[in-house]
Chains A and B, each alone.
Chain A
């Protein structure tokens, strides 16, 4: 069966309102970024002890979503699952946009944004993860463009090739991003496991977001969506979360077990705001509840519940990103072995960080830009399939029933 892709009309009130809201966010972000450029980073919640904040959290979150949504497109592109072809284009489009979002977040976080476009490329430092990553990121965007082109022009063989490259590249992008932290000098950063757990969390969040997006888009535009497609994604999501939990457990168990790391582990797990985000945000809301929903027969086979679980995961992974970045910074470094600093001109012990309005505005701004571009793309490119059906007997029967119901409805409403 031929799958037909089309553009969205983009004339509905909902579309226009959404565009407006996204544009407003983007403008807000622009204004706050301008203030940061003018005044300096002092307008944010970051300090000399906590030099990274919300923007970095969001950056790695977006990059995670990007890799995750690419996995969905890979179901068709790499693994040849025909039934997932309808989502392939949207998935690649969103993967590309989220990577741009990640880069925008990093860009707007720099002290000298004006230099970012030249210096990293002319004074490349092979030993810096921060230098290697931009190359991975721009490569990723480029690959996404080619991938999209292959999908648009329906080149089957080429699609498989580029999809496989994209798939592998996404892993590199992600491991690279994880390595920024994992290969770092801080006690709570340093972990060779971090890049790996980073990838799995990314897959979970990306899948969850794709579920939300697909169900939402099909519902709003009144298109037929075969439930079984989402059910399978739900199960996939559940497995991803399980792996995330496993990695989290190993990582923390290791830190709690090794004597010299134990104080840091205790700090990570039980002290301060981040520990609440860890237990409530990540473990409970982001992992336990969704897993319960997804693995349970009754709820795991219901679209509404799957959507609910996905939204929890999307939130949970933000918390995960937060607890990767911030506790590692607020936790004090041991500068003087065996001594305790009692008096200093700077904050020496546990540092504090509060998210500032400026950072929230910037983060929302990036989100606005991406949302705007996404909707704009839906209107100008043929991204949206007319329907998503598994072409077997059950699938066809169900679809025909759906069509009949809709026709009946439209006749009724026209009467």
Chain B
């Protein structure tokens, strides 16, 4: 073997080994699941049930609580306002009659989240308990997730937020995407999400959050006993927000 061949061989080996290791690293080492298929059975899988029949006309308790709890940005301009949860009025025509309903819309924490699939930096990911969340220290602000979400549930911080009511939660600065976190920080410490708590305080009791993997949990019971619907089920995103009375 002459010098040239030797150089070629060593060069080639180094290149192959290093690129192989690198490839292996980003395929395996990331503990995050983009598709979310690594959830161990029997563990917690958070989900939500919304009983629209009980929702009080004109009430905004859950929306306000969410905004205060998470310092969600509000600028008074519908181009930039962020709504982790929003209440819309929708009209449905059945025959000649048209019915109007108030509907709460929020991130569905899809089991197969398209937003996480497209995120180029894995800033959006699904936690092992099923909550879809954005790492706002990693998000580069490409907004591809907003394009991919079929529910318009994603928002972008177009502008720095002035509000900082809850100092335990980060102040929202511009440049990153976000959506409802199902108050993961609260669930992790055994508390209910802010919206659920606020709704219960009004006595309406529209919102339920619980473990979908536990057949005895309130949410599982409701889903089993009552007719529920999920949004755009045909898309196969497997939303985890179930509606009663939609």
Contacts and interface: CB of A to CB of B under 8 A. Distances in A.
A124 B120 CA distance: 6
B81 to A, nearest CB: 7
A185 B231 CA distance: 15
Interface stretch (A15-23, A47-55, A195-203, A270-278): A47-55
B140 A116 contact: yes
Contacts of A110: 140-142, 175
Contacts of B144: 128, 130, 180
Given A335-B232, A342-B91, A48 B80 contact: yes
Contact of A111 (B90, B101, B103, B177): B177
B159 A42 contact: yes
Contacts of A333: 150-152
Contacts of B27: 126
B155 interface: yes
B121 A48 contact: no
Interface in B141-163: 141-144, 146-152, 155-160
Nearest to B80: A42
A335 B143 contact: no
Nearest to B237: A185
B189 interface: no
Contacts of B143: 51-52, 111
B4 interface: no
B158 A128 contact: no
B88 interface: yes
B231 A335 contact: yes
A41 B160 CA distance: 10
Contacts of B120: 120, 125, 128, 130-131, 134
Contact of A185 (B30, B91, B147, B159): B147
Interface of B is mostly: loop
Contacts of A123: 26, 30, 121-123, 138
A51 B146 contact: yes
Interface string B64-92: 00000000000100111111001111111
Interface string B107-123: 00000001001111111
A343 B174 CA distance: 27
Contacts of B100: 342
B161 to A, nearest CB: 10
Contact of A124 (B26, B35, B177): B26
Contact of B152 (A42, A49, A128): A49
Interface residues of B, number: 60
A343 B87 CA distance: 9
A337 B239 CA distance: 15
B105 interface: yes
A348 B78 CA distance: 10
Interface of A is mostly: loop
B34 to A, nearest CB: 5
* Category for how many chain A residues contact B: 35 or more
Nearest to A44: B158
Contacts of B174: 39-42, 111
A341 interface: yes
Contacts of B231: 335-337
Interface string A258-297: 0000000000000000000000000000000000000000
Given A48-B81, A335-B231, A337-B232, A42 B158 contact: yes
Contact of B91 (A48, A116, A340): A340
A298 interface: no
Given A123-B138, A333-B152, A40 B232 contact: no
A40 B149 CA distance: 22
A109 B231 CA distance: 31
A346 B147 contact: no
Given A48-B158, A128-B118, A335-B105, A345 B147 contact: no
Contacts of B232: 334-335, 337
A413 interface: no
Contact of A41 (B34, B147, B156): B156
Given A41-B158, A42-B79, A125-B119, A111 B91 contact: no
Interface in A95-110: 109-110
B26 A48 contact: no
Contact of B79 (A47, A129, A343): A47
Interface of B: 26-27, 30, 34-35, 75, 78-83, 86-93, 100-101, 103, 105, 114, 117-123, 138-144, 146-152, 155-160, 174-177, 231-232, 235, 246
17 contacts: A40-B160, A41-B174, A46-B158, A47-B78, A48-B82, A51-B143, A110-B140, A111-B177, A128-B117, A185-B147, A185-B235, A333-B150, A333-B151, A338-B92, A339-B90, A340-B91, A345-B88
Given A110-B142, A124-B26, 10 more contacts: A40-B158, A41-B156, A48-B79, A123-B122, A128-B118, A336-B246, A341-B89, A342-B88, A343-B89, A345-B86
Interface of A: 39-42, 46-49, 51-52, 109-113, 115-116, 119-120, 122-131, 134, 180, 184-186, 189, 329, 333-348
